[in-house]
Amino acid sequence: MKDRLKDFVQAHREEFDSFAPRPDLWQDIAAELQQEEKKPVIPIETEQEAKVISINWHTAWRYAAAVALLVMVAFSARYYMNTQGASEAVATTQPVPLDKIAPELRQIETKYVRVIEKKKSELKAMGAGQVRFAELDSAYNELKKELYTTPNKEVLLQAMSDNLKMRIALLNQQLEVLENRSNVKAPARHETTNI
Amino acid sequence: METLEYTDVNAHVVARCKEGDRKAQYELYKLYSKSMFNVAMRITNDYTEAEDVLQESFLSAFRELHTFKGDSTFGSWLKRIVINKSITKVRSRRLQVVPMEDHQDFADEGPEVDQEDLEYKVESIKKAIQSLPDGYRVVLTLYLLEGYDHGEIADILSISEATSKSQYSRARKKLLELIQEQSFFS
């Protein structure tokens, strides 16, 4: 039997998809995915405890202590590695999830931070003292936080590298100023330049 | 061929999703959320439930992505997840899904609505689908709109193929009656 109804529906298939979910539903999904990625330690811990409880109440505290110790060691190891790798110009990173979200970021950071450090030491050699980027630092940290939640990664990464580029530009300016000044008179010693 | 290209594009994005790339996940969401939402909407017939289904489906799809081997397209894999979750919702409502077992006879009782007299309109069909009872609506939309055959529907709903066929023909008859009623009252 020929199904006229089916033919009609097939011919107008697109028109039947007229509903749309609320626009911010993705934010909820992304938040939940984020939540799941963030807690890799906890499930192991509870699992261990649950197992212990089923075996023996009296030895449970030993296992709990062992687990706690393990977690502490893991955290301090991570913290140690972080502080080793991170540069003072850029706020400390949280490498595990971030590397997953934006593997390019590590590259961008190392590239610019190297230049920034070089310029800074040049400035120091010319007697400019410490250079700090308070506002740029906090802006950069804000952007980094947003990386966890935004689907629009490219724009953020662009803004972050612009932020780093701006530091280089400022350092260049400062270097130029100092160079000009040192041509005229002796450079001022140990002043703190706050940009 | 269009479908072939489609699959290839997705395969690349799916691979990135497997590594937890949030942006790739969003791309798949953008690509499929609307059609999947409509699938859920048709089965559950409830906006809030359909949104729940959509959220749960994407979450479990991303979680279980490693089990997706690529022997179907990502779209059809996701669609099965959406359909299964939608059906679970409908069943958990404890509304009696129209009894499916006691239809041995294929012959429809009552006068057949003369299809040739009906002028179909998308809007009136949509409205009629929404007023069908759950059991009818599920089988009818799976067959008419989601493009499954009776063998596949039998598999999805854990019923026999014959039941799927008879259920569809009853649902279809009911739908035509509803459409006719609509045109009568409008």
Residue A152 vs residue B144, higher pLDDT: B144
The pLDDT score that the predictor gives to residue A52 is 47
* Residue A141 placed within a domain: yes
**Integer CA distances (angstroms), A136 to A143, A174, A180, B11, in order:** 11, 16, 26, 40
Q: Which of A14, A21, A15 is nearest to B34 (CA)?
A: A21
- CATH 1.10.1740.10 domain range(s) in chain B: 2-92
Question: Do A157 and A177 belong together in one domain?
Answer: yes
Residue recorded with tokens 């899904």 = B97
Q: Is A112 found in the same domain as A54?
A: no
Report pLDDT for A54.
53
- Alpha-carbon distance of B107 to A67, in angstroms, equals 68
| Spatial separation of the C-alpha atoms in residues B42 and B47, rounded to whole Å | 10
Q: Could you tell me if residue A9 is inside a domain? A: no
Residue A104 banded pLDDT, cuts 50, 70, 90: confident
pLDDT class for A89, splitting at 50, 70, 90?
very low
Distance CA B69, CA B64 (A): 11
Picking from A61, A84, A107, the residue at the C-terminal end of a domain is: A84
Whether the per-residue pLDDT at B170 is higher than 90: the answer is yes
- Give the number of domains in chain A: 2
Q: What global pTM score does this model have?
A: 0.55
**pLDDT (tens digit per residue) in A40-85:** 544 444 444 454 445 566 677 788 888 888 999 988 888 888 776 5
CA distances (Å), B141 to each of B135, B168, B172, in order?
Answer: 10, 9, 10
* In a shared domain, residues A174 and A106: yes
Average pLDDT over residues B19-40: 94
Average pLDDT over residues B9-36: 91
Interface of B with A in 106-135 (CB under 8 A): 115-116, 120, 122, 125-126
User: Rounded distance, CA B139 to CA B86, Å?
Assistant: 13
Of B59 and B94, the structure prediction assigns the larger pLDDT to B59
Average pLDDT, chain A: 77
- pLDDT, residue B71, reads 82
Q: Which residues, in sequence order, are CB contacts of B116 under 8 Å at separation 6+?
A: A4
Note the pLDDT of residue A39.
Answer: 63
* A101 & A181 share domain: yes
Instruction: Decide if pLDDT at B62 tops 90.
Output: yes
pLDDT the model gives residue B156:
95
Strand A193-194 with A131-132, pairing = parallel
Domain region containing A75: 25-84
Q: Give the separation between CA B176 and CA B182, rounded to whole angstroms.
A: 10
Contact B55 A100 (CB under 8 A): no
pLDDT digits (tens, 9 = 90+) for B48-61: 999 999 999 999 99
**Cβ separation of B145 and A9 shorter than 8 Å?**
yes
- Are both A99 and A61 inside the same structural domain? no
Q: How confident is the model at residue A94 (pLDDT cuts 50, 70, 90)?
A: very low
* Residue A76 and residue A106 in one domain: no
Q: Which is more confidently placed, B28 or A42?
A: B28
Fold of B115-185: Arc Repressor Mutant, subunit A (1.10.10)
pLDDT of amino acid B109: 52
Architecture label for domain B2-92: Orthogonal Bundle (1.10)
B172 touches A: beta carbon within 8 Å: yes
Indicate where chain B has its CATH 1.10.10.10 domain(s): 115-185
d(CA B164, CA B143): 9
Tell me if A2 is assigned to some domain: no
Count, residues in chain A: 195
Instruction: State the complex-level ipTM.
Output: 0.80
Are residues A118 and A184 located together in one domain of the fold? yes
Same domain flag for A97 and A176: yes
Last residue of a domain, one of A50, A84, A118: A84
Question: So what's the pLDDT on residue B69?
Answer: 85
Q: How deeply is B83 buried, as exposed, middle or buried, from its count of CB atoms within 10 A (0-12, 13-18, 19+)? A: buried
How many Cβ pairs closer than 8 A exist between chain A and B?
A: 83
- Summarize the confidence of residues B158-185 as an average pLDDT: 92
Q: Which of B122, B124, B149, B166 to mutate to test the interface with A (most CBs of A within 10 A)?
A: B122
Task: Say if residue A68 is in the same domain as residue A105.
Answer: no
